[in-house]
Each structure stands twice: as C-alpha cells, then as structure tokens.
Amino acid sequence: MIALDANGADRGPRNVAEGGRRAGVPVTIFGPADQLRNFENVVDAPIAITNDEDPARAVRAKPDASVVQAARAVKEGRAGGFVTSGSTGAALAAGLFHLKRMRGVHRPAVAVRLPIPSRPVLILDCGANVDSRSEWLVQFAYMGAAYMEAVHGVQRARVGLLSVGEEPKKGTEEVVEANRVLSDGPLDFAGNVEGNDIAGGQLDVVVTDGFTGNVALKAVEGTAITVMEAVRDTIRSGALSSLGGLLIRKKARRLREELNQDSVGAGILLGLRGGAFVTHGNATPVGVATAVRLAHRAVEEGVVERTEAALRESGSLAAASATAVSVGSGS
C-alpha cells in the first residue's frame, strides 16, 4: 500500500488522485474528500502545508495535514511508503518527524534520477541540506548506490563525486576528504567528476552537497528545455527545414517524452526509516502514476533495508556519539 498525499500539487488534488488510480498498485489517498468523489480509498485530509510555511514548524503545528497523515500511515505500518506532489521541505520534515532518520545516518538526502538517454543517473543531494560535510557526502554515495541497485536494476553502481576537477585534491575541503574516504571503501568509485559528467552517460550516481545538487539538477533540466526549444525554433525558421521538421516530428516527440519530468517520476528521500517520494509540483497524472509505481517497487525491493545494510557494510554509519554531535550542530 502506498500513501498518496493529494494536496499541494500545481494541478490540484483530482489530478494527483487520477495518477494514483492509474498506477495499478494499491493506494490510499490523503486529500480533501469533497473534491475527490469517485475515487476509492480516500481519507479526508483537507489541510495542506504550503511552500510559504516553515516546514518543520508546520509539520508540528498541523498534525492532521495530509502529508503528515501520509507519513504517519507509513510509520504505523498501514502503508509501505508515501508519495507527495507538495513541498519537498514539508515531505522531509514529515519524514524526519515521523519516520525518523536511519540509525547512524547524519542527514537524509533528496535523490533524483535524471533520464539521460544513454544511461540514467541519480544525483543527490538535490536540496535536503544547504551545507556540506564530508561524512554526509560519503553516506550519500552509499545510499545512492544502494537505491540504484535495489530499484533500478543496476548491477554495481558507478559513483562519481562532483567537484571542480578530476584530481583528488581538487575541490572544497569536504570534497577532498570525502574523496579520500570513498577511495578506500568498497564502492565502484569513479573519483571526482565534473559538471559535464552528469549528462555524460558514464555514471549511475553523482554525489554532491544539497546546494550544488539543486543548482546542477535545475541547470541540466533548464538547459535541456532551452536546447530543445532552440532546435524547434531553428527548424521552424525556414520552409525547407520546416518540411524536415515535419518528417522528424514523431521521433522528436518521443525524445521530448524521454527527457520529460513525467518519466522521472519522483525524487526519493534517502536515509529515512521508510520510503518517501516527491514528484514535480506540476506532474501530470502520468508523472504521479510513475512516482507511485516507483514507490511501490522501492517497498517491494526493500530499499530501506538494503540502504541500511549497504551503509553498515561500508563502515560509514555514525557511531552513537558522532550522531549526537551531528544532531547538536544544526538541522
């Protein structure tokens, strides 16, 4: 069972519920029941958390908010994971507050799988944190690899650490230290990689801090859109090329779909004791359905347990005291 939060999406709750119905897996929908007639398994949850609110405060102040109820359903075993089209911050806060972090995990991360045509790549952290510590980066690497292996059928994930040069000494202090630790670990580690390697087709996972990851993810998405539009405008600007454009239209549409956010499905919050997924805010029913199926598969494949096992085997879990320090120093 997947708990689906229907509030907070750009296209409204019915659109999200329609995506849940199309997913073809068992779903409980948390949203405004009066707007969701005709849908099955609806729990009335009209209260939403908006982007303007401080997520942590809102999650505490609104225990009946739909995303909080969805997270609680996972915690209490009524659902295997939750999916929301609302604010990532609220999903993260609800996840931290109700599902809790895995023992020994410093920080959760938002991971997004980019549909690069030759080889999809998972990039994390895409914005759960704005600061960076080397030990967080190390854990992100193992969490990302475990996810790609468990849910996306990658045999042995190849992981790169994003920096400003390939040499192990290039980058911030945190990156240099994370490179050193990862080089000594059991991972298929490609070492430092650069911005052009994200879409380069040679990696399964790209690890970075949440500030850089958020910027890089949106830079890749934005550039793909701009270039596709430039191709279209170029083709339309002449009679001969317009004719050529007609002949490639079908193929071009398929490529656009391949690169579309709807085929990405969702970001996953890694490092929590339960599956939590966030779709694009303006996801169509197709995008929501993809996300729900992704969440379902993650639960079936035991991604939480496998992530925890990978972290344990890597020796990168924090000792109890180290965790306490980490909690004390912010969050």
Which of residues 156, 186, 230, 257 is near a copy of itself by CB under 8 A?
230
Report if residue 257 touches a copy of itself, rule: CB under 8 A. no
Length reported for the chain: 331
Report if residue 210 touches a copy of itself, rule: CB under 8 A. yes
CB 308 to a copy of itself: min, Å: 28
Report if residue 208 touches a copy of itself, rule: CB under 8 A. yes
Check: CB of residue 150 under 8 Å from CB of residue 301.
yes
Provide the residue type at 28 as one letter.
T
Cβ-based neighbour number of residue 183 at 10 Å: 12
Among the residue ranges 3-11, 36-44, 142-150, 216-224, the one whose residues contact a copy of itself (CB under 8 A): 216-224
Cβ-based neighbour number of residue 101 at 10 Å: 18
How far is residue 79's CA from residue 99's CA, in Å, rounded to a whole number? 12
How far is residue 69's CA from residue 12's CA, in Å, rounded to a whole number? 18
How far is residue 91's CA from residue 315's CA, in Å, rounded to a whole number? 28
Report if residue 244 touches a copy of itself, rule: CB under 8 A. yes
Among the residue ranges 148-156, 179-187, 232-240, 288-296, the one whose residues contact a copy of itself (CB under 8 A): 232-240
Report if residue 55 touches a copy of itself, rule: CB under 8 A. no
Report if residue 330 touches a copy of itself, rule: CB under 8 A. no
Assign 44 to helix, strand or coil: strand
- Sites of contact with a copy of itself (CB under 8 A): 116-118, 127, 130-131, 162-164, 171-172, 194-201, 208, 210-212, 214-228, 230-231, 233-235, 237-238, 240-241, 243-248, 250-252, 254-255, 258-259
